[in-house]
Chains A and B, each alone.
Chain A
Amino acid sequence: MASKPKYNNTVCDPSFAAQVRERSGVEIERCYQCMTCTLGCDANFAMDVAPNQIVRLTQIGMKEAVLTSSSIWVCTSCEACVTRCPNEINIPHLMDCLHQIALEEETPVKEPAVPVFHRAFMAPVRQFGRQFEVLMTGLFILKARKFSLRDMLTNAKLGFGMFTRGKLKFGPHRIKGTKAMNDIFQKTLGGRGT
């Protein structure tokens, strides 16, 4: 027997709009559906719910439909929508707020490789204070399980090309203020890992 889905897209959470509004400060209520955001969105082709629909669904409290969409993960934060929105609605910031809620509430993630990448990116930063690309990429490959032959070949080719051009660091640069960095992560993320 199929297990009951944890989320049901028809369920409405009337407090959701206020939750998003309060947390992000984004004035979602100002949207009148002109669709300027969607028409100029370079990533819209890969989204299951268009940016203007994300705003509308958030306004009316369709929390699960929004949080389980692919759109919130494939937005590239290119800032075109907010630049062009006649009502100055900061959709990239809304998207940030939506991923953060989805991750905190452990909603099923439609595009799991995306948050895996962002966490892999932050791991060396937390530890050393600067990015260490070899570690970041390694963590990403392991955690996103990018083990296909195609992935391996691409990574080997790129890695070799970067190595021969002196673009790969083999050790991390550890800043002096690693304690300060750790404090920053502790005070902001608390128990939540990177």
Chain B
Amino acid sequence: MKYAFYPGCTQESTAIEFGRSSEEVCRRLGIELEEIPDWNCCGASSGHFLDDDLAHALTARNLALAEGQGLDTAIVCAACYLRLRCTQIKARESADFKKKMAEVIGMPYEATRTVRHLLDIIVNDLGIEEVTKKIVKPLTGLRLAPYYGCYLVRPPEIVGFDDPENPLSMDRLLTALGAEALDWAGKVDCCGGSLILSKEEIAMKLLGEVIEDAREVDAEAIVVACPMCHANLDMRQSGKNRLPILYFTELIGLALDIEESSTWFKKHMVDAIPLLRKHGLI
């Protein structure tokens, strides 16, 4: 199993632990990732806000480079994932659009390859059974709220590897890792990440509601697959007894007993180590 890898800008900065854990977990699971050479920022939520062609061209350059590698692309950031998929799907629907993109990026682009989120790859390509076979340390006793947020599941015509209202892929994965995956109300709500700098009070209300929903089912931590959700929930959570926010890849790493996993958890603003220690996982 080999994919072109689009890390996205956050994997070297705010979500460094997501990047490191994704790469290490893939290596252990036999998923080969070949970084897209000279990839650029996809423009995330801001590109399409300002100009449609700009947003599509920023992603098309990456898609064209991955096409040059002859591989489908694996993505870890949910926001990058939606943006790249939008362009890929539009290019498949319209030859004129494809031609326009090739002209703007100065590179051939045929939209022959596709784009996948790492969660989709692990659950559906590799299969949960393959992960289960490698578990050394089951995450027994951990009560986790799997949080999908927006772009992993919406809009389903563009992303759509799971149900948009009640997605279950992360639930199944966490259950297989030995944890208790809780059914909760906030799993596909928006955390307001795109407004955290510009309209902080709106984002704070939205992320507060996500945290409250998780508390309502007595979750001990929230599990995410998006660096934007993570930054928002981990850095901006207020009050005492803050809930740790964990990446799904970190939890796979923990269950596989990957030595480096303790270094990932040190990167969080909300300390996850006491919780993991309580359950004898670290």
Contact = CB atoms under 8 A, between A and B. Distances in A.
Interface of A: 42-43, 45-46, 73-74, 76-80, 82-83, 90, 96, 99-100, 103, 111, 113-119, 121-122, 124-125, 129-131, 133, 137, 140, 144, 158, 161-162, 165-169, 173, 175-177, 180-181, 183-185, 187-189, 192, 194
B198 A80 contact: no
Contacts of B103: 187
A130 B61 CA distance: 13
Given A161-B269, A167-B267, A189-B50, A80 B190 contact: yes
Given A80-B150, A125-B58, A166-B16, A74 B48 contact: no
Nearest to A90: B155
Given A118-B46, A158-B235, A165-B266, A140 B197 contact: yes
B153 to A, nearest CB: 8
A-side binding surface: helix, strand, loop or mixed? helix
A82 B177 CA distance: 34
A188 B49 contact: no
B159 to A, nearest CB: 9
A100 B51 contact: yes
Contacts of B52: 96, 100
5 nearest CB pairs, A to B: A78-B190, A131-B9, A79-B154, A121-B46, A117-B198
Contacts of A77: 45, 48-49, 150, 194
Given A114-B195, A161-B235, A180 B189 contact: no
29 contacts: A45-B205, A76-B192, A76-B194, A76-B195, A76-B206, A78-B150, A96-B52, A113-B197, A113-B199, A114-B198, A115-B50, A118-B49, A125-B41, A130-B9, A131-B9, A131-B13, A133-B13, A144-B198, A158-B235, A165-B269, A175-B39, A175-B40, A176-B38, A177-B61, A184-B105, A185-B54, A188-B53, A188-B104, A189-B51
A188 B53 CA distance: 6
B108 to A, nearest CB: 13
A82 B205 CA distance: 22
A83 B190 contact: no
A43 B190 CA distance: 9
Contacts of B235: 158, 161-162
B244 interface: no
Q: Residue among A100, A168, A180 with the most chain B CB within 10 A?
A: A180
Contacts of B48: 77, 96
A26 to B, nearest CB: 12
B49 A177 contact: no
Contacts of A166: 16, 267
Given A96-B49, A114-B195, A122-B47, 18 more contacts: A42-B192, A45-B205, A46-B205, A74-B202, A76-B192, A77-B45, A100-B51, A117-B197, A117-B198, A124-B41, A131-B9, A131-B10, A176-B38, A180-B105, A184-B54, A187-B53, A187-B57, A188-B54
A140 B196 CA distance: 12
Contact of A184 (B82, B104, B198, B205): B104
Q: Residue among A118, A144, A162, A173 with the most chain B CB within 10 A?
A: A118
B138 interface: no
B12 interface: yes
B239 interface: no
Interface in B23-42: 38-41
B8 to A, nearest CB: 9
Contacts of B14: 133, 162, 167
B253 interface: no
B151 interface: yes
